[in-house]
Amino acid sequence: MLSGNTKDLKQSIIKKLEKLNRKKFKTDFIISPELAKRLSLLSKEINRQIGLLIDRYNEIQYVIVGDNKSIFIPELKRFRLVPGKLRGLRLVHTHLYNEGLTEDDITDLAMLRLDAVSAILINQEGLPAKIETAFLLPPNRENNIYNILDETDVYNQKTNFSEFIKNLEKEIEEKSISLFQIKKENNAFLVGCFKNKEEAKESLLELKELARSAGLNVVDTIYQIKQKVDPKYILGIGKLKNIAIRAYQLGVDYIIFDNNLTPSQAREISKLVEIKIMDRTQLILDIFAKRAHSNEGKLKVELAQLKYLMPRLSVKDDSLSRLTGGIGGRGPGETKLEIDRRRIKDKIAFLTRKLKQIEKTRDIQRKKRTKRDIPTVSIVGYTNAGKTTLINSLTNSNIYADNLMFATLDTSSKRLRFPEEKEIIITDTVGFIRDLPEDLKDAFKSTLEELYDADLLLHVVDISNKNYEKQIESVNKILEELNLKDMDTILVFNKIDLIDDETLKERKKEYPEAVFISALNRKTFQPLLDKIFYKIFKKKLKHASS
Ligand SMILES: Nc1nc2c(ncn2[C@@H]2O[C@H](COP(=O)(O)OP(=O)(O)OP(=O)(O)O)[C@@H](O)[C@H]2O)c(=O)[nH]1
Ligand SMILES: [Mg+2]
């Protein structure tokens, strides 16, 4: 492909340039001396830089014309970046004034992850005087990005280039694994822009848990402190470029933003960064997609994902595929999303209708159950607080619980027997999280509808979590949004086995109304059981007798 500044060039020159295109030449080196000479003379004649992008088979894939000081590399559509690999293209271009590699050359090398960038320095006669080559370094502790090859004689090159690149890629892989624990796939950088350090640490800690729950290998977390996020890129462009370059170097597959991205931000960042990017909402959606088992759950997640993607599909550009695929191809998937917006709209409508039907049926079932007049206690709380573990221990059940965010997506109900032939139904619910994406909130509100039928809520809190107070707040906020704030509630501090006695004493003083348990240890349950019994049955008795 011939591209760049070909304006006003003589037809004969254009012909000569076009002749270079797709040409395969024989060499063990970066460029053969003959080709270097031809390029130099031509470049001198038109007084513009000429660049060649050459693949690993020594075939010229792009011929680019610049001005007399620089050259602009077009989008390399046919040569996508594969995490952990180099581009498979090297740039060899002319410098007219005998000047060495420039900062722009190095930026191109790093941002495009080229195999190498060489400058042929042309002398007065229009012949190659020298060649300078920069190449990328394997991951290293010092964070060095590139190095300059130690040879400059065009006519006496010694480095066998294909060997050199083969060894370099091998070393990249080895160092990524040994120095930075890069896995085969699903490696991620977590990034964000925050108002202060404390907020950064808190948010990134939670994002890390979310990432882990989504099956990602978190390689590094990087943040920037700013009072206002960059409207275009969230982070400053310099910072973002540095992150991208390091991500390329380590072979990272995803950059996850803690800040939610507007469709236009997502697009702008994707134009700059050739790795999949995701925001917190997408990450949560992805976990939900991974975890949804019931038919209803799956439909709901798909609906939420499609709603989230809709505004991001307006421009059909290359970065699209990087925006749409979920982790490891989960979610609506790239091929499915090639269908146009209209069909997605239809799908959204279809899913909405289907879900309405399902909800209706469930509503009927729910009503049947309430008629039975068995009191219901619902467990709510921040994700990973230990809700499912508690219901399991209380009722001797075996519902899936795990040290993952959103282990539970489907509500389940169990019977719990009390003395005197009394029993209650106890239900588990999906965990809450701060700033739950709107579409998901809508989707899962209906699963939370059971809460309206509850006689009592158990608000389970992970007392060992540093942010437990904020988590209580977040849960209360969501309960308020659901109009459940005035429901009779027991605050249940869980995981007391993970804190020391001193701290436990303090918390008990702070929250005299609460009960303190370890869901893993039934011996700690009595105060909780007493309280549930009292609130459900004693109160009922009172009502009955008054
Ligand atoms: N040490 C300790 N770990 C606990 C306790 N209770 C629960 N866990 C652990 O905490 C993790 C989360 O427990 P889950 O019961 O899945 O939490 P959940 O609230 O249902 O979480 P989601 O369904 O994801 O919202 C699991 O690894 C449990 O083993 C406890 O009292 N002590
Ligand atoms: Mg659970």
- Pocket flag, ligand 1, residue 519 (CB < 6 Å): yes
The answer to whether 251 and 182 are in contact (CB under 8 A) is yes
Q: Whose CA is nearest to atom 1 of ligand 1?
A: 495
Sorted by sequence, the CB contacts under 8 Å of residue 112 that are 6+ apart come out as 73, 76, 87
> Which atom of ligand 1 approaches the CA of 430 most closely?
25
> Which atom of ligand 1 approaches the CA of 401 most closely?
16
Q: Which two tokens stand for residue 88?
A: 């498979």
- Pocket flag, ligand 1, residue 399 (CB < 6 Å): no
> Which atom of ligand 1 approaches the CA of 498 most closely?
1
The CATH class given to the 187-338 domain equals alpha beta
Q: Whose CA is nearest to atom 2 of ligand 1?
A: 495
Range(s) within the chain of domains with CATH label 3.40.50.300: 373-545
Burial class from Cβ neighbours inside 10 Å (0-12, 13-18, 19+) for residue 283 reads buried
Q: What is the pLDDT of residue 527?
A: 97
> Which atom of ligand 1 approaches the CA of 460 most closely?
19
Which of the 8 DSSP states describes residue 355?
H
Question: Which ligand sits closest to the CA of 460?
Answer: 1
> Which atom of ligand 1 approaches the CA of 519 most closely?
31
- Pocket flag, ligand 1, residue 405 (CB < 6 Å): yes
- Pocket flag, ligand 1, residue 117 (CB < 6 Å): no
Mutate to test the pocket of ligand 1, among 389, 433, 474 (most ligand atoms within 8 A of CB): 389
The answer to whether 114 and 86 are in contact (CB under 8 A) is yes
Nearest to 253 by CA among 212, 289, 217: 217
What order of strands is seen across the sheet that includes strand 217-225?
A: 217-225, 187-194, 254-257, 276-279
H or E stretch at 295: helix 295-309
Q: Beta 254-257 vs 376-381: how paired, if at all?
A: unpaired
- Pocket flag, ligand 1, residue 518 (CB < 6 Å): yes
- Pocket flag, ligand 1, residue 385 (CB < 6 Å): yes
**C-alpha torsion angle, residues 275, 279, 284, 288 (rounded to 10):** -50
H or E stretch at 412: strand 412-418
Sorted by sequence, the CB contacts under 8 Å of residue 323 that are 6+ apart come out as 266, 267, 270, 276, 277, 309, 312
Question: Which ligand sits closest to the CA of 401?
Answer: 1
Task: Tell whether the torsion through CA atoms of 474, 189, 320 and 338 is positive or negative.
Answer: negative
Alpha helices in 214-279 (DSSP H): 237-250, 263-272
Residue pointed to by tokens 């896995």: 183
The second-level CATH assignment, the architecture, of 373-545 is 3-Layer(aba) Sandwich (3.40)
Cα 384 to ligand 1 centre (Å)? 5
H or E stretch at 493: strand 489-494
The answer to whether 440 and 288 are in contact (CB under 8 A) is yes
The answer to whether 50 and 43 are in contact (CB under 8 A) is yes
Nearest to 525 by CA among 466, 443, 448, 458: 458
Range(s) within the chain of domains with CATH label 3.40.50.11060: 187-338
What is the phi/psi pair of residue 193, to 5°?
-115, 130
Q: Whose CA is nearest to atom 21 of ligand 1?
A: 384
- Pocket flag, ligand 1, residue 471 (CB < 6 Å): no
In order along its 546 residues, the chain shows pLDDT tens digits of: 899 999 999 999 999 999 999 999 999 999 999 999 999 999 999 999 999 999 999 999 999 999 999 999 999 988 999 999 999 999 999 999 999 999 999 999 999 999 999 999 999 999 999 999 999 999 999 999 999 999 999 999 999 999 999 999 999 999 999 999 999 999 999 999 999 999 999 999 999 999 999 999 999 999 999 999 999 999 999 999 999 999 999 999 999 999 999 999 999 999 999 999 999 999 999 999 888 888 888 898 899 999 888 888 755 444 555 555 556 544 454 444 455 677 888 999 999 999 999 888 877 777 776 666 789 999 999 999 999 999 999 999 999 999 999 998 888 889 999 888 889 999 999 999 998 877 778 777 767 878 888 999 999 999 999 999 999 999 999 999 989 999 999 999 999 999 999 999 999 999 999 999 999 999 999 999 999 999 998 766 655 554
Alpha helices in 188-236 (DSSP H): 197-213
- Pocket flag, ligand 1, residue 516 (CB < 6 Å): no
Sorted by sequence, the CB contacts under 8 Å of residue 229 that are 6+ apart come out as 193, 235, 259
Q: What is the pLDDT of residue 48?
A: 97
> Which atom of ligand 1 approaches the CA of 428 most closely?
20
Give the number of other CB atoms < 10 A from CB of residue 321.
15
- Pocket flag, ligand 1, residue 82 (CB < 6 Å): no
Cα 383 to ligand 1 centre (Å)? 9
Residue pointed to by tokens 């042929």: 120
Q: Which two tokens stand for residue 497?
A: 């086995």
> Which atom of ligand 1 approaches the CA of 379 most closely?
19
CA distance 154 to 121: 10
- Pocket flag, ligand 1, residue 465 (CB < 6 Å): no
Q: What is the pLDDT of residue 373?
A: 78
